[in-house]
């Protein structure tokens, strides 16, 4: 096995621990949400996906986003933040992000 074969599991579990730290929910619930984020990311790599999340002001945001054929270039040299999920918003035509614990549903 290559060292990268388990990289996706490492990311899923790191996200689950971050969600547990932020919300205080059981690890089982956090791991389920982390796998949902993983599936969302994979679906976005194939095309446009509709999903919903809670914004920081508490309102619901229904979004259409993708990661297909777009390259995100960060404005800073800081490493990627595991606590946020970055996507290309099809309505706004720009990159957006949300806190991983705020994902509500993918539809």
Confidence of residue 76 (pLDDT cuts 50, 70, 90): confident
Name which of 4, 10, 11 is nearest 85 in CA terms.
11
- CA gap 63, 78 in Å, rounded: 26
Q: What percent of the chain has pLDDT over 90?
A: 84
User: What is the pLDDT averaged over residues 89-99?
Assistant: 96
pTM, to two decimals: 0.90
pLDDT at position 47: 97
Number of domains observed in the structure of the chain: 1
For the four alpha carbons of 81, 82, 84 and 88, in that order, the dihedral sign comes to positive
User: 49 Cβ partners below 8 Å, 6+ apart?
Assistant: 40, 43, 64, 65, 66, 106
| Interval 7-55: pLDDT, tens | 999 999 999 999 999 999 999 999 999 999 999 999 999 999 999 999 9
The pLDDT-based confidence of 6 (bands split at 50, 70, 90) is: confident
For 88-106, what is the mean pLDDT? Answer: 96
Q: Residue 2 has what pLDDT? A: 58
Look at 30 and 1; give whichever has higher pLDDT: 30
Range of the domain at 20: 3-106
């Amino acid at each position: 096995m290559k060292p990268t074969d388990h990289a996706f599991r490492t990311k899923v579990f790191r996200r689950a621990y971050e969600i547990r730290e932020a919300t205080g929910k059981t690890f089982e619930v956090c791991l389920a949400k982390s796998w949902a984020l993983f599936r969302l990311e994979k679906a976005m790599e194939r095309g446009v996906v509709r999903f919903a999340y809670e914004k920081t002001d508490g309102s619901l945001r229904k979004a259409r986003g993708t990661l297909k054929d777009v390259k995100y270039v960060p404005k800073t040299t800081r490493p990627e933040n595991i606590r946020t999920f970055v996507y290309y918003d099809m309505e706004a035509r720009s990159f957006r992000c949300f806190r991983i614990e705020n994902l509500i549903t993918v539809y």
